[in-house]
Amino acid sequence: MYHRTETRPVKVGNIQIGGNDQVVIQSMTTTKTHDVKATVAEIKRLEEAGCQIVRVACPDMRAAEAIADIKKEVKIPLVADIHFDYKLALKAIEGGIDKIRINPGNIGRREKVEAVVKAAKERGIPIRIGVNAGSLEKRILDKYGYPTADGMIESAKHHVGILEDLGFEDIIISMKASDVRLAIEAYQKAAATFRYPLHLGITESGTLFSGTIKSSAGLGALLAMGIGNTVRISLSADPVEEVKVARELLKAFGLAANAATLISCPTCGRIEIDLISIANEIEEYIATVKAPIKVSVLGCAVNGPGEAKEADIGIAGARGEGLLFRHGEIVRKIPEKDMVAELKKEIDKLAEEYYRK
């Protein structure tokens, strides 16, 4: 699959965004950032789920001051989400933040922008410019009448121009909109306009169910065009769910190199086992497996082995038992009650083999 690699590489902590064919998974905490204990606990859950970079809201000085303490406790790079107040940006940078999300055009007087850019440059911290269809500048809305992709590009150019004029180029851009078609158009235009990496997201996309579909539709279309260097799925749900959706989405495009995939059948009248609960249990089990293993769970043996030839390991239901197969070849029979446990053991073995390589 084509992937847009000719973007400027930008380092966020120890992670490179852009300049390669990787797509980095991000999420955002829901805790009050000044509550260090709760924020660190949530970040650890996100990290465990596969989140690679995490953003925290930084609405006030208490939050900005907490960043130094949070940084001491977490491994993945931390991003501070700041609106308008340059003092919060300076405090976050002083606290060791790895990236800030702030729109330079909203900071105010030039000296304030210069102070932020100088501090970010000294510490090698990139800045994400977050253009959002819902908060475009008034002059742009007056010009275009309503949020459009061209208006969003104009806004992005304005903010990018301010940073470039100050010799700052460690920039990442997002062009979020809650309207999927608008977001797709805006990101396509951004990819054609800027050489900076793009952070993808469909903002305010909804609940776990509807937001997953909207985000996957929008981000999927963009990833299929090779656009996007980082992703965040925005859901009105536990942020761990955002990471799970992001991982699954990247897997679908072959962009999550070290992730296990589940193939499971839709079930039909031929079903011989309690496939839905087995598939759910195995899906949860492989969620944290960091090896490219394909696991197949099928309801019966009629088409089972044939349908799952691509799988490294799998189970097909038979009456009161399951057939364990590798690459479409039956290896042995397993009683129904032991199927899940045996399949997990086989997955562990394959993962171990992969880790040893």
Give the residues lining the site for ligand SF4 (CB under 6 A). Answer: 265-268, 270-271, 298-300, 302-304
Closest CB 218 distance from ligand SF4, rounded Å: 30
Cβ distance to ligand SF4 smaller for residue 259 or 265: 265
Q: Both tokens of residue 123? A: 């510490």
Cβ distance to ligand SF4 smaller for residue 145 or 269: 269
- Give me the torsion for CA of 257, 288, 96, 132, rounded to 10°: 70
Closest CB 326 distance from ligand SF4, rounded Å: 17
300 labelled as ligand-binding? Answer: yes
DSSP-derived letter for residue 236 is B
Closest CB 274 distance from ligand SF4, rounded Å: 12
58 labelled as ligand-binding? Answer: no
Closest CB 270 distance from ligand SF4, rounded Å: 4
Helices (H), the chain: 36-49, 61-73, 86-94, 110-123, 138-144, 149-165, 180-193, 208-224, 239-252, 275-286, 304-307, 339-356
Output Rg (C-alpha) for the chain, integer angstroms: 23
What whole-number distance in Å separates Cα of residue 174 and Cα of residue 222? 13
Cβ distance to ligand SF4 smaller for residue 86 or 325: 325
Of all residues in this chain, which one has the CB nearest to ligand SF4 in the complex?
299
Closest CB 319 distance from ligand SF4, rounded Å: 12
Cβ distance to ligand SF4 smaller for residue 126 or 304: 304
What whole-number distance in Å separates Cα of residue 272 and Cα of residue 11? 51
Cβ distance to ligand SF4 smaller for residue 167 or 266: 266
With contact defined as beta carbons under 8 Å apart, do 93 and 125 qualify? yes
With contact defined as beta carbons under 8 Å apart, do 122 and 159 qualify? no
265 labelled as ligand-binding? Answer: yes
Going by the annotation, the residues of the binding site for [4Fe-4S] cluster are 265, 268, 300, 307
Going by the annotation, the residues of the binding site are 265, 268, 300, 307
